[in-house]
Amino acid sequence: MKYSLDSASAIIANTSDKSIHIGATMKVTVLGAGVIGVTSAYYLAKAGHEVTVIDRQTGPALETSFANAGEVSFGYCSPWAAPGIPRKALKWLFMEHAPLILRPKVDYAMLAWMVRMLANCTSERYAINKSRMLRLADYSRLSLAELRTETSIAYDERMQGTLQLFRSESQLDASAKDVKALAADGIPYEVLDREGCIRVEPALRHVSDKIVGGLLTPKDETGDCFKFTNALAVACVAMGVTFDYGRTIKGVEVEAGQAKAVATDRGTMFSDAIVVALGSYSPLLLKPLGIRLPVYPVKGYSLTIPIVDAARAPESTVMDETYKIAITRLGDRIRVGGMAEISGYTNDLGPARRRTLEHSVTDLFPGGDVKAANYWSGLRPMTPDGTPVIGATNIRNLFLNTGHGTLGWTMSTGSARVLTDIVGGRKGDIDAADLSIARYGR
Ligand SMILES: Cc1cc2nc3c(=O)[nH]c(=O)nc-3n(C[C@H](O)[C@H](O)[C@H](O)COP(=O)(O)OP(=O)(O)OC[C@H]3O[C@@H](n4cnc5c(N)ncnc54)[C@H](O)[C@@H]3O)c2cc1C
């Protein structure tokens, strides 16, 4: 498959708004300077638009895109809502180093999101949702390679794959359904025995008695999302994008069904089109506009650990299936990240989660100084079906690129290109009709 960004021809874009022309330069305001906002800005600027990015932080990628697990995992892209998850979730809740933490509270958004997520745990819904995510991930894989060539940005990137590591025969057996899905989607993979795992990740030789095998997706990549987003923001500035930091967005002003301006704590900003890329905070902005976006924050944690013994550090990403924790090599650091905590909008850092991360990494790769690690949490903007929400809304000139959940960086470049084509009214390279908010009905 080859995708390329042709220059847009001058045809009318939004048929209900004759003021916007494809090919004409539009003033586009992107809300949010996370990895999704910055990749959106890049492709919008590349398509010739005049782009401004607004964020309340002092720079790019200072919220969820700051210290994620570092996987650019095209082959591992799957919705969390899967058959068997409700039963597994019950078991996880009672594990010592639990991958899932649930703190129920009286919160309609949380309950509504959980009900919708459970409704997506059927084989039929899983297949639909996974194929949507894989379509975006595959487009992102090609787009990211192109972007790297275009910009020459560096972000501790490596192209050595993801190794899903099994500690028991039952985990190995259960991976048969993933293998089937990978084969069906034409994604390269290798099923490895213990020796095979050690060949891919030599440091595992020190703990060989703890592993039984693994599943390698060799086309997956790794890197530092914060460095990526910052380097891309620099490239954006060179393309004429304006970044307006330290500005809190209060709302979107709508007149006669059309988005006109963004209200902020430092004044109102007018533009032809507005793109919402506020991660977990997107639904809060959209609610007063009557748009109910089913995105809920699912908190995760990470540790970034300086390497002191490289022979006992990973080479790429190792996904420990037992704890659902990803352990990634980022230059001279190890990033270990994971866990899903459903507890609302809170970034607090409890000692128990840190113990889980420390346990998981030192059990396999004791090559880092965990006491000197940086501990972090972030809120994954999760949709109940795992797929992001990209496209137009029922308010003219208001667009969404949000809800990227577990693998937002992985899907970012493809999502941004899809968004750019929709904003410009162009037919895109991939089918995107089922990615819009319309899929949730009214
Ligand atoms: C522990 C963990 C591990 C992960 N691992 C991976 C991984 O290995 N690979 C992968 O691909 N993905 C991973 N993810 C997911 C990925 O990090 C997210 O999907 C992605 O960062 C979301 O990007 P975003 O731009 O949508 O959100 P954000 O990065 O949160 O950006 C949203 C921006 O909006 C701004 N904002 C919000 N509200 C306002 C307001 N009112 N006014 C002004 N600005 C505002 C914020 O400041 C922020 O900068 C992980 C996530 C977590 C938590």
Query: Does the pLDDT at position 15 exceed 50?
Result: no
Query: Does the pLDDT at position 17 exceed 50?
Result: no
| Residue ranges around ligand 1 (CB below 6 Å) | 32-37, 55-57, 61-65, 68-71, 248-249, 277-279, 281, 300-302, 326, 337, 378, 380-381, 402, 404-410
Phi, psi (degrees; rounded to nearest 5) at 30: -100, 125
pLDDT of residue 280: 98
317-355 residue pLDDT tens: 999 998 889 999 999 999 999 999 999 999 999 999 999
**Max CA distance (Å), the chain:** 67
Query: Does the pLDDT at position 151 exceed 80?
Result: yes
The fraction of the chain above a pLDDT of 90, given in percent, is 82
CA of residue 379 to ligand 1 center, whole Å:
7
- The lowest-confidence range among 164-168, 178-182, 425-429 is 178-182
Mean pLDDT of all residues in 239-261: 98
Mean pLDDT of all residues in 267-287: 98
Q: Are 328 and 67 contacting, i.e. CB atoms less than 8 angstroms apart?
A: no
Query: Does the pLDDT at position 394 exceed 50?
Result: yes
CA of residue 22 to ligand 1 center, whole Å:
30
Mean pLDDT of all residues in 193-213: 96
**How far is residue 126's CA from residue 134's CA, in Å, rounded to a whole number?**
12
pLDDT of residue 95: 80
**Side-chain-side CA neighbours of residue 366 (13 Å):** 6
Residue with CA closest to ligand 1 atom 51: 68
Mean pLDDT of all residues in 268-272: 97
Mean pLDDT of all residues in 401-405: 98
CA of residue 224 to ligand 1 center, whole Å:
13
pLDDT of residue 442: 65
pTM for the predicted model, two decimal places: 0.94
Query: Does the pLDDT at position 404 exceed 80?
Result: yes
The C-alpha angle with vertex 344 and arms to 343 and 349, in degrees rounded to 5, equals 60
Alpha carbon dihedral 169, 172, 177, 183, in 10-degree steps, equals -150
Residue with CA closest to ligand 1 atom 4: 68
**Residues β-bridged to residue 163:** 216, 318
Alpha helices (H) along 303-386: 351-364
Mean residue pLDDT across the chain: 92
Tokens of 89: 């979730």
63-106 residue pLDDT tens: 999 999 999 999 888 899 989 888 888 888 788 888 888 888 88
What does DSSP assign to residue 396? B
